[in-house]
């Protein structure tokens, strides 16, 4: 009986050790899901930042979508047994086990007619108002998505490759957005859809505290001061005092606009690798004074930066957004949401790139 007892004791101990060192099923999901999630988010953010830097240098952009992630778990087991037929009458059984994970990641290029149209088509007015109604500030959404409102321009020449001449007429836009911020917390300006005609309308209410501010907003936009509800339409030759005319920016124009506020080393500027925008007097224009430049800034460093929210290497230099630059991070987050809203419905065209990870 001594031999049987020893064998059972060894078997129980080996199984306990094996089960304690390895977990499968739900436990495996808890261990790997956050890791894959974090890796995918980081890679997508890096792709956005890389494409912005490419636009700054006039290099082509490209978008890959993570189509699927599959992980195969391979389990291996081994065992051995032995016995001693001497006076001790003892024996032992040993078990060993191992498992390996083989992830397979599939990438799908975003391309084709639908995707290109989504990049080049102006963002819909409905989408702009939906973003402002979901908690994003008017100042941030309009800076990225709107080129003009009732003739007040938001640097329309910034919607393409970096221009050689400074954009005009954006200072009045900055003034308008500063005024909007004053009344934002009181929700005095709200967009609504007419339940009958389905047309978009904006209600501009007033209070004794903000009466002067509301009056100034209506004056800048040339709106009828006696009205509280105004129609919302696209651009038109004939503007009416009962209508707010919004000219929205294409998603590609937004990407270009943000790419202008990327720092580049003086040697790249001297070599002509990037365009240096200048004022009429020949001085260097500060893109940080534009509506989008005020809320977004990508820095440059020769060494890999510490404490960066996102950093990419391009032409042996680092371009990054500091982790404590909450203004730029918020704008970056809005850009990713806008991309999904505008281009997310486009189907991936072409072969899927599948990479087995070892």
pLDDT at 284: 96
pLDDT at 52: 97
pLDDT at 237: 76
pLDDT at 17: 45
pLDDT at 11: 42
* Residue 13: inside a domain: yes
pLDDT at 140: 95
- pTM recorded for the entire structure: 0.81
**Tens digits of residue pLDDT in 140-176:** 999 999 999 999 999 999 999 999 999 988 999 999 9
Domain count, the chain: 1
Low-confidence spans in the chain with pLDDT less than 70 = 1-33, 71-102, 344-358
* Residue 150: inside a domain: no
**Tens digits of residue pLDDT in 94-149:** 556 565 666 777 777 888 888 888 899 999 998 998 898 888 999 999 999 999 99
* Residue 293: inside a domain: no
Domain encompassing residue 29 = 2-109
| Per-residue three-class SS string for the chain | CHHHHHHHHHHHHHHHHHHHHCCCCHHHHHHHHHHHHHHHHHHHHHHHHHHHHHHHCCCCCCCEEEEEEEEEEEEEEEEEEEECCCCCCCEEEEEEEEEEEEEEEEEEECCCHHHHHHHHCECCHHHHHHHHHCCCCHHHHHHHHEEEECCEECCHHHHCCCCCECCCCCHHHHHHHHHHHHHHCCCCEEEEECCCCCCEEEEECCCCCCHHHHHHHHHHCCCCCCCCEEEEECCCCCCCCCEEEEEECEHHHHHHHHHCCECCCHHHHHHCCCCCCECCCCCECCHHHCCCHHHCCEEEECCCCCCEEEEEEECCEEEEEECCCHHHHHHHHHHHHHHHHHHCCCCCCCCCEEEECC
* Residue 65: inside a domain: yes
């Amino acid at each position: 009986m001594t031999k049987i007892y020893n064998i059972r004791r060894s078997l129980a101990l080996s199984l306990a050790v094996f089960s304690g060192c390895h977990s499968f099923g739900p436990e495996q999901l808890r261990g790997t899901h956050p890791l894959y999630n974090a890796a995918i988010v980081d890679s997508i953010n890096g792709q956005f930042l890389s494409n912005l830097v490419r636009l700054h240098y006039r290099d082509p952009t490209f978008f890959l979508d993570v189509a699927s992630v599959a992980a195969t778990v391979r389990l291996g087991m081994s065992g051995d047994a032995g016995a001693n037929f001497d006076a001790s009458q003892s024996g032992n059984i040993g078990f060993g086990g191992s498992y390996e994970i083989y992830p397979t990641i599939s990438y799908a290029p975003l391309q084709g007619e639908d995707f290109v149209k989504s990049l080049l088509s102006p963002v819909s007015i409905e989408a702009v108002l939906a973003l402002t109604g979901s908690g994003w500030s008017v100042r941030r959404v309009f800076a990225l998505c709107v080129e003009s409102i009732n003739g007040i321009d938001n640097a329309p020449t910034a919607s393409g490759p970096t221009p050689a001449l400074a954009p005009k007429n954006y200072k009045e836009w900055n003034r308008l957005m500063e005024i909007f911020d004053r009344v934002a917390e009181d929700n005095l300006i709200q967009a609504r859809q007419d339940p009958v005609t389905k047309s978009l309308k904006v209600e501009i209410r007033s209070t004794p505290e903000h009466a002067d501010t509301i009056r100034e907003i209506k004056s800048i936009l040339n709106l009828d001061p006696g009205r509280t509800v105004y129609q919302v339409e696209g651009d038109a030759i004939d503007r009416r005092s009962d209508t707010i005319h919004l000219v929205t920016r294409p998603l590609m124009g937004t990407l270009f606009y943000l790419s202008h506020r990327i720092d580049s080393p003086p040697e790249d500027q001297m070599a002509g690798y990037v365009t240096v925008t200048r004022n009429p007097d020949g001085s260097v224009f500060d893109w940080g004074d534009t509506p989008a430049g005020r809320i977004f800034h990508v820095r440059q460093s020769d060494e890999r930066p510490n404490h960066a929210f996102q950093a990419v290497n391009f032409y042996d230099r680092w371009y990054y957004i500091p982790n404590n630059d909450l203004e730029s991070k918020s704008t970056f987050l809005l850009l990713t949401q806008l991309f999904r809203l505008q281009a997310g419905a486009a189907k991936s065209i072409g072969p899927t790139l599948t990479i087995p990870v070892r």
